[in-house]
Amino acid sequence: MIYPRVSLFAAMLAMAGIPLYIHLPRFASVELGITLAALGPLLLLIRVVDLVQDPAIGWAIDRWPKAQSLFAALAAAGLAIGSPLLFTLQSGPYLVLQLVGILVLLFSAYSLGMILLYGRSATLAVRPDRENLITLAAFREAGMLTGVIVAAAAPSVLVAMGAADQGYRAYGFFLGALAVGLWIVTMPMWRRPPVAGEQVTFAGLANAGALRLLALALVNSLPVAITSTLFVFFVEDRLLLEGMAGPLLILFFLSAAASVPIWTKASHRFGAKPVLLLAMPLAILSFVGAAALAQGNLAGFAIVCLMSGAALGADMVLLPAMFSVALNNAGLNASLAFGIWSFAGKLALALAAFTMLPLLDFSGFVPGKSNSTQALTALTIAYAVIPCALKLGALALVWSLPSRESSV
């Protein structure tokens, strides 16, 4: 029963990750009147907190291993409180301060839960060996993808059920209630005795090959971060597929979820590096295809979603599994290391918002309005061309991995 609970806890956390960056730009710009140029730097500024916070959270989890249940409860409580507060915000005095405070709460809860879940891989696996760590990763990432699918599609579903104001208010309460329910169901998994290791040091991470994997994780996270941030804009404003962002997001993440067992089985047989070298070109081809699409081409973008989703499935399972195996083989405590890993992933999301949103604002792009050719071209470059170049960089990093760091 341990692995299904891991999936459910991961699903709870995932709802405050990528879906937040998918829905927040439109909610903030349309409902709250905050410009994209202001929102991008704001999100990056909040990430300064994570620079100190995420490693500190990892250190605390390693320092007090018997407090797993308390840490899990605090993470769930932060999500349960923060989600309704965020999506019931209204324009008025001190709006930006309120938004910053709520986002810090949500991101802190997300960080705590994610670092706990990934850092306790050896504890939550049936046995802390390579096969079980990969199996754990498959269940965890399948849960993540399920949570992303539910959270990404929920506003559209809630609107169809009669929710007002684009469904955002109902969406916030839905996420809060779900966090409470999933925490109750998953409480037993944190009663397992923690597997302890040696203290993490810079030299230890380097000797384990983990620093190279951290650099790969950051570079590889950037394309997904950019496309997640701009997905709704690209679908509704560039392709003019109004009302299709939700279904296409579901298709994208369903493709990722369906690919997880395939990539997992392939990595058992061939190793992680060959599988990543096969999967990453799928993402590159999808970016090229997206850039070439004409307005209204629903079928073409559906194919793009299938290809890029399948590529994401490989990234989600194999990269953290490689990192976990490297730490376990070196006998290191994993939570502090995954605190740094968590910060790298969130830094990618913040950098995407910080760079891409002001770029679109500067080009004259306005969500939900009639935009010039220049603005739409800027959106295409931001959504497809820049991620394509970044993915090529990530592919080169995978190619350069020595077998010691890719033998998952």
The residue written with tokens 């309005």 in the block is: 369
pLDDT at res. 262: 93
Q: Which of 201-215, 238-252, 333-347, 385-399 has the highest mean pLDDT?
A: 385-399
One-letter amino acid at 332 equals L
Flag whether pLDDT at 265 surpasses 50: yes
Task: Note the pLDDT tens digit of each residue in 302-321.
Answer: 999 999 999 999 998 889 88
**Which pLDDT score is estimated for 42?**
81
Radius of gyration of the chain (CA): 20
Single-letter amino acid, residue 40: G
Q: Band of the pLDDT at 405, cuts 50, 70, 90?
A: very low
Residue 116 has pLDDT above 80, yes or no: yes
* 3-state SS, residue 199: coil
Q: Are 80 and 180 in contact (CB under 8 A)?
A: yes
Beta bridge partners of 198: 332
pLDDT band at 403 (very low <50, low <70, confident <90, very high): low
- pLDDT tens digits along 156-210: 788 888 877 678 889 999 999 999 999 999 999 998 888 766 777 777 777 777 8
Identify the three-state secondary structure at position 1. coil
* All structural domains of the chain: 2-405 (1.20.1250.20)
Q: How confident is the model at residue 37 (pLDDT cuts 50, 70, 90)?
A: confident
275-300 per-position pLDDT tens digit: 999 999 999 999 999 999 999 999 99
pTM flag (> 0.85) = no
DSSP line for 237-293: IIS--TT-HHHHHHHHHHHHHHHHHHHHHHHHHH-HHHHHHHHHHHHHHHHHHHHHP
Distances in whole angstroms, Cα of residue 248 to Cα of each of 25, 26, 91, 179, 306: 18, 17, 30, 25, 9
Q: Return the pLDDT at 343.
A: 78
